[in-house]
Amino acid sequence: MTSTPVQGAQVVSRVASLLRIVGRKPEGSPLVELVRESGLTRPTVHRLLSSLASEGLLDQDPQSGNWVLGPEILLMGSVASARFPLEDIARPSLRRLAEETGESAFFSIRRGAETVCLLREEGSFPVRSFVLHEGVRFPLGVASAGTAIMAFLPEAEQEELLAGWAAHARDFAAAHTEALVRENLAKTRQAGYSVNPGLVLEGSWGMGAAVFDQRGRPAWALSLTGIEPRFKGERQELLGRLLMEEAHRISTLLQGTAGAV
Amino acid sequence: MTSTPVQGAQVVSRVASLLRIVGRKPEGSPLVELVRESGLTRPTVHRLLSSLASEGLLDQDPQSGNWVLGPEILLMGSVASARFPLEDIARPSLRRLAEETGESAFFSIRRGAETVCLLREEGSFPVRSFVLHEGVRFPLGVASAGTAIMAFLPEAEQEELLAGWAAHARDFAAAHTEALVRENLAKTRQAGYSVNPGLVLEGSWGMGAAVFDQRGRPAWALSLTGIEPRFKGERQELLGRLLMEEAHRISTLLQGTAGAV
DNA sequence: CCCAAACCATCCATATTGTGGACACTCATC
DNA sequence: GATGAGTGTCCACAATATGGATGGTTTGGG
């Protein structure tokens, strides 16, 4: 993440990390938070934010003063979507999943050693969790989407992640011990789908299924989240079946897409 | 565009301009093109591109070697869309327009003194133009979308643009003389929709209608493009009516949206 | 098959550029 | 009206990004 093999690029890496932090939440972040999260000094952060804003990459919300993603990001995102039309590919599956299960459905992408939540579709069930939303990142192996993806990576890559597990999982390492994760990965490989039994947030369960790219690598994941009682017993198998069905449908769709991400 | 009121931000402005150039075309750009367009030296461009790529903001297409928008842009675009759900708001109108008219339909946004094409919906008519696609920018007052928007700006802003017209319109100034543009703007204000009679590309006509934000400012535009014979006489009035209908529908939808862009 | 042209990648001494400590301001809260 | 938490700005300093120069690779033409 913080590795920058490219020389002479201090500002680029700083700017990128600020953009990522701002992009974690649709409502953006105040300056202090960006200072804290980035580890930079206030003047530096402020100057970078101002220049990013003057370029249209960020905006400052007049009400809250929060820094939010700017119009240029929207534009570029729109162009990037032309190469990879997420909405067309994944949205219908999310709609069906949310509709049929009543839970909230998510589409996440693998990005390096993380998963990032891209799309969300609210379910009808009146109790909903708000841990997961567009922009949220988890280390691979944490949460249902990350587990589903990691389970189907080449074994060497899995072992690499597990070797530096504590550093990789960070705050999540406490609840996600290496042994527990290994067990979850094995279960996932067997069942085809992953189950997160409230490890991220007590009582908040999740299930996920990996989506494979043209080269057969697990690059995305569909997932469902909801409260514990709705993810047990027979219903768990039902949800798993639905997830895998839709994941397979998307994987197939992707065979027809030109550019990979 | 090139104005940078913020101090200590050279790299930020350079990076932003590179991203914008790459984002002009979904298929990206080769290094030379970026060097030419940005006016920077090759080593500098190369270094910035490499660092942007290592941050995931860009990617280098393995086939063509072209630099293209990277996964992080897709992610951030997705988050930005949560604040401003373009697809939900504008896509249905584009579908209807393309369906009912057979021409290709576009949704553009105003960004400073430019319009940027955000969404495209292909029509069924077998002759199609490829001048306009996601990411393409025109100076305000050029092409149908830019004319529709400019016509409804406060008079002072219009005069400001016209004052520096040659510099503003650049390559388009030849075909778009100040007198002609003034006339087009007047016609647009009267009819409610704009007509571009092949000024950008001979034989390729366009029509546009402005979409207004919460504060009543023209911030977006719907437009149609196609070949000359299909944009004349009674049909022109029909297309104008359809465009204005859909533009009005979107303007109304936007009243309900929280965050402006 | 060889040569030229066009494009891409990298090195490193230089000074231009970005940095951050210190100071000033604004707005809640007590 | 005093305290504190957050935001915005200045400027001397040096770390950082710069770009001329060099070498490598691919494409196409003779």
**In CATH, what number is assigned to the domain containing residue A58?**
1.10.10.10
Domain assignment of residue A261, yes or no? no
CA angle B122, B206, B77 (to 5 degrees): 50
Structure tokens given for B227: 């070949």
**CB burial of residue A220 (10 Å; 0-12, 13-18, 19+):** buried
Same structural domain for residues A203 and A242?
A: yes
Q: Which nucleotides of C are covered by protein (CB under 7 A)?
A: 6-12, 17-22
Domain assignment of residue A205, yes or no? yes
Same structural domain for residues A163 and A182?
A: yes
pLDDT band at A7 (very low <50, low <70, confident <90, very high): low
Q: Which of A156, A176, A260 is nearest to A216 (CA)?
A: A260
Same structural domain for residues B208 and B94?
A: yes
User: Structural domain tally of chain B?
Assistant: 2
pLDDT > 70 fraction of chain B, expressed in percent and rounded: 95
- Nearest-CA distance A234 → chain B (Å): 34
User: Do residue B111 and residue A75 have CB atoms under 8 angstroms apart?
Assistant: yes
Domain assignment of residue A3, yes or no? no
User: Do residue A72 and residue B259 have CB atoms under 8 angstroms apart?
Assistant: no
pLDDT band at A172 (very low <50, low <70, confident <90, very high): very high
Give the domain extent around A23. Answer: 10-76
Q: Is A32 on the interface with B (CB under 8 A)?
A: no
Domain assignment of residue A1, yes or no? no
Determine if strand C comes within 7 Å of the CB of A40.
yes
Q: Helices A143-151 and A178-191: crossing angle, nearest 10°? A: 70
Determine if strand C comes within 7 Å of the CB of B16.
no
Same structural domain for residues A53 and A173?
A: no
User: Do residue A135 and residue B81 have CB atoms under 8 angstroms apart?
Assistant: no
Distance B61 CA to C1 C1' (A): 31
pLDDT of residue A131: 84
Asked if residue B127 has pLDDT above 90, the reply is no
Average pLDDT over residues A24-40: 91
pLDDT of residue B3: 44
Residue finishing a domain among A27, A43, A76: A76
Determine if strand C comes within 7 Å of the CB of A16.
no
Same structural domain for residues A167 and A247?
A: yes
Task: State the CB neighbour count (10 A cutoff) for residue B144.
Answer: 33
Same structural domain for residues A110 and A26?
A: no
Same structural domain for residues B89 and B175?
A: yes
pLDDT band at B261 (very low <50, low <70, confident <90, very high): very low
Same structural domain for residues B65 and B185?
A: no
Tell me: the pLDDT tens digits for A115-149?
999 899 999 988 888 889 888 999 999 999 999 99
Domain assignment of residue A102, yes or no? yes
pLDDT of residue B257: 60
Domain assignment of residue B261, yes or no? no
Determine if strand D comes within 7 Å of the CB of A127.
no
pLDDT band at B260 (very low <50, low <70, confident <90, very high): very low
Residue finishing a domain among A33, A55, A76: A76
d(CA B51, CA B77): 20
User: Do residue A119 and residue B78 have CB atoms under 8 angstroms apart?
Assistant: yes
Contact between residue B198 and residue B232 where contact means Cβ atoms under 8 Å apart: no
For residue A202, give the amino acid letter. E
Asked if residue B199 has pLDDT above 90, the reply is yes
Contact between residue B259 and residue B218 where contact means Cβ atoms under 8 Å apart: no
Asked if residue A62 has pLDDT above 80, the reply is no
d(CA B95, CA B235): 19
Same structural domain for residues B221 and B241?
A: yes
Q: What is the CATH number of the domain that holds A231?
A: 3.30.450.40
Domain assignment of residue A162, yes or no? yes
Same structural domain for residues B130 and B32?
A: no
Contact between residue A82 and residue A259 where contact means Cβ atoms under 8 Å apart: no
Distance A221 CA to D16 C1' (A): 40
Same structural domain for residues A34 and A89?
A: no
For chain B, strand residue ranges (E) read: 58-60, 67-69, 104-111, 114-121, 137-139, 194-201, 204-212, 218-227
Tell me: the pLDDT tens digits for B134-175?
889 999 999 999 999 999 999 999 999 999 999 999 899 999
Asked if residue B180 has pLDDT above 70, the reply is yes
Q: With beta carbons under 8 A apart, name residues in chain A contacting B60.
A: none
Determine if strand C comes within 7 Å of the CB of A233.
no
Calculate the average pLDDT of chain A: 90
pLDDT band at B58 (very low <50, low <70, confident <90, very high): very high
Q: Which of A160, A159, A142, A140 is nearest to A150 (CA)?
A: A140
d(CA A96, CA A86): 15
pLDDT of residue A9: 81
CA angle B15, B20, B24 (to 5 degrees): 150
pLDDT of residue A93: 97
Q: Helices B155-163 and B143-151: crossing angle, nearest 10°? A: 130
User: Do residue B56 and residue A111 have CB atoms under 8 angstroms apart?
Assistant: yes
Asked if residue A259 has pLDDT above 50, the reply is no
Structure tokens given for A232: 């047990």
Determine if strand D comes within 7 Å of the CB of A11.
yes
Domain assignment of residue B2, yes or no? no
Asked if residue B116 has pLDDT above 70, the reply is yes
Tell me: the pLDDT tens digits for A161-171?
999 999 999 99
Residue finishing a domain among A76, A109, A133: A76
Asked if residue B237 has pLDDT above 70, the reply is yes
**Which residue has 């240029």 as its token pair?**
A72
Q: What residue in A sits closest to B81 (Cα-Cα)?
A: A74
Q: Is A31 on the interface with B (CB under 8 A)?
A: no
d(CA B17, CA B140): 19
Q: Which of B17, B53, B23, B52 is nearest to B35 (CA)?
A: B17
For residue A117, give the amino acid letter. C
Same structural domain for residues B200 and B88?
A: yes
pLDDT band at B27 (very low <50, low <70, confident <90, very high): confident
Q: Is B113 on the interface with A (CB under 8 A)?
A: no
